[in-house]
């Protein structure tokens, strides 16, 4: 019997137009988008399915992404009867993992990420912070180079050969040069609106902690893996502190996948726009099955799933 993990992508996924078939062709999908529109006071389908400048703005991106992934998940569960034994999400995707684990209601996940997006957008003026992807250099070397620098840190341990750094723009640019000199194949500046998962967002994390005080957290029905620790969370008292810390801490995605594989997870179902996490997993482990759900037709891959 397979041990299944639902996994959810983060903000970097390309999703304009994604989810439209779930909205137009399924009752549950439509209800999820309509609920989000009612909660947030703007038209989520229009935001998600029509090209617009707001999709690149964090305060809108986060709500759109989580709504889309949750809608896809609920349709998958209802129509295929597939439920996970474990859940995890990269950065923003952790909120979908919380919904999958029964820790947070769909409505609270959507409401909270809307506030999270606003707080992160407001934390650092545009142009002050930056992020870069460092390719083909091991984590230990990157950690050693950054340990002697101020204003820059590892934001994401994505997979072997791909680590993202974040911080002050000048510090990130300087780090890129040092990491290239240390053997990195490439150092690519990312098109993002802020220095996410860096200490520059500590204030945003503290404010999110205040928002979370009003959110009901339930005991996980299944374990989920926290970005900050890359370990299972089964105690609801740990949820809010970890979500607050996640805003300004490294996302340990590679380590999270390794935790799940060590626990016997052999099947990962990525739910949401893009196939980014599937690509990471294939570089982390050769032994797992990976499926993607980003279109209704993708669920047909799971007809004979067991």
- What pLDDT, on a 0 to 100 scale, did the predictor assign at position 54? 81
Q: Is the pLDDT of residue 153 over 60?
A: yes
What would the mean pLDDT of 63-92 be, rounded to a whole number?
95
The answer on 112 and 152 residing in a single domain is no
Q: Is the pLDDT of residue 10 over 80?
A: yes
- What pLDDT, on a 0 to 100 scale, did the predictor assign at position 52? 80
Q: Locate tokens 């003026």: which residue?
A: 125
Residues tagged active-site: 91, 197
The answer on 13 and 96 residing in a single domain is yes
pLDDT per position as a tens digit, 213-234: 999 999 999 999 999 999 999 9
Q: Which CATH number covers residue 148? A: 3.30.70.250
Mean pLDDT of the chain: 94
Beta strands at 152-159 and 86-89: parallel, antiparallel or unpaired: unpaired
The answer on 212 and 99 residing in a single domain is yes
Q: What angle do CA 188, 87, 301 make, to 5 degrees?
A: 85
Question: How many angstroms separate the CA atoms of 151 and 138, rounded?
Answer: 21
- What pLDDT, on a 0 to 100 scale, did the predictor assign at position 16? 61
Question: How many angstroms separate the CA atoms of 26 and 301, rounded?
Answer: 18
- Name the band, by pLDDT with cuts 50, 70 and 90, for residue 195: very high
- What pLDDT, on a 0 to 100 scale, did the predictor assign at position 1? 78
Q: Is the pLDDT of residue 13 over 60?
A: no
Q: Which residue has the higher pLDDT, 137 or 273?
A: 137
Please tell me the total count of domains within the chain: 2
Tell me if 170 is assigned to some domain. Answer: yes
Ranges of beta strands (E only) in the chain are 4-8, 86-89, 129-135, 152-159, 162-168, 186-189, 224-225, 232-233, 267-271, 289-293
The answer on 203 and 158 residing in a single domain is no
Tell me if 280 is assigned to some domain. Answer: yes
- What pLDDT, on a 0 to 100 scale, did the predictor assign at position 74? 98
Least confident piece of the model among 15-29, 198-212, 239-253: 15-29
- Name the band, by pLDDT with cuts 50, 70 and 90, for residue 70: very high
The answer on 223 and 163 residing in a single domain is no
What would the mean pLDDT of 253-266 be, rounded to a whole number?
98
Question: How many angstroms separate the CA atoms of 91 and 9, rounded?
Answer: 8
Q: Which residue has the higher pLDDT, 54 or 195?
A: 195
Q: Is the pLDDT of residue 15 over 60?
A: no
- What pLDDT, on a 0 to 100 scale, did the predictor assign at position 14? 54
- What pLDDT, on a 0 to 100 scale, did the predictor assign at position 220? 96
Domain end call among 188, 221, 239: 188
Q: Is the pLDDT of residue 81 over 80?
A: yes
* Total residues belonging to the chain: 306
Burial 139-175 (b: 16+ CB within 10 A, else e): eeebeebbeeeebbbbbbbbbeebbbbbbbbebbebb
The answer on 102 and 54 residing in a single domain is yes
The answer on 215 and 97 residing in a single domain is yes
The answer on 53 and 93 residing in a single domain is yes
Q: Is the pLDDT of residue 306 over 70?
A: no
Q: Locate tokens 């290239």: which residue?
A: 180
The answer on 227 and 209 residing in a single domain is yes
Query: Domain containing 114: what range?
Result: 2-121+197-300
Tell me if 306 is assigned to some domain. Answer: no
The answer on 248 and 113 residing in a single domain is yes
DSSP helix/strand/coil, 224:
strand
The answer on 133 and 109 residing in a single domain is no
The answer on 57 and 201 residing in a single domain is yes
What would the mean pLDDT of 198-224 be, rounded to a whole number?
97
Q: Is the pLDDT of residue 95 over 70?
A: yes
What would the mean pLDDT of 36-63 be, rounded to a whole number?
88
Q: Is the pLDDT of residue 299 over 70?
A: yes
Which is nearest to 156 in space by CA: 111, 192, 124?
A: 192
Taking the complete model, does pTM exceed 0.85, yes or no?
yes
């Amino acid at each position: 019997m397979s041990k299944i993990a639902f996994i959810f992508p983060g903000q970097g996924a390309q999703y304009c137009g994604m989810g439209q078939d779930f909205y137009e062709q399924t009752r549950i999908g439509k209800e999820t988008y309509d609920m989000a529109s009612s909660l947030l006071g703007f038209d989520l389908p229009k935001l998600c399915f029509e090209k617009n400048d707001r999709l690149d703005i964090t305060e809108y991106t986060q709500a759109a992404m989580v709504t889309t992934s949750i809608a896809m998940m609920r349709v998958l569960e209802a129509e295929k009867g597939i439920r996970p034994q474990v859940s995890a999400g990269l950065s923003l995707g952790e909120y979908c993992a919380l919904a999958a684990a029964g820790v947070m209601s769909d409505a609270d996940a959507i409401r909270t990420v809307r506030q999270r997006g606003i707080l992160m957008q407001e934390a650092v003026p545009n142009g002050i912070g930056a992020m870069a992807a460092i390719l083909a250099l091991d984590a230990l070397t990157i950690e050693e180079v950054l340990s002697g620098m101020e204003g820059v840190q590892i934001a994401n341990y994505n997979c072997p050969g791909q680590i993202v750094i974040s911080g002050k723009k000048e510090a990130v640019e300087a780090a890129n040069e040092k990491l290239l000199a240390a053997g990195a194949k490439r150092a690519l500046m990312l098109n993002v609106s802020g220095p996410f998962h860096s200490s520059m967002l500590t204030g945003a994390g503290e404010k999110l902690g205040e928002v979370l005080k009003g959110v009901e957290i339930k005991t996980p029905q299944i374990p989920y893996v926290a970005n900050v620790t890359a370990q299972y969370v089964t105690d609801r008292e740990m949820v809010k502190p970890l979500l607050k810390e996640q805003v300004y801490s490294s996302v340990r995605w590679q380590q999270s996948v390794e935790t799940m594989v060590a626990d016997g997870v052999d099947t990962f179902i990525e739910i949401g726009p893009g196939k980014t996490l599937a690509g990471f997993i294939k570089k982390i482990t050769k032994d797992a099955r990976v499926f993607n759900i980003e279109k209704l037709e993708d669920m047909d891959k799971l007809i004979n799933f067991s």
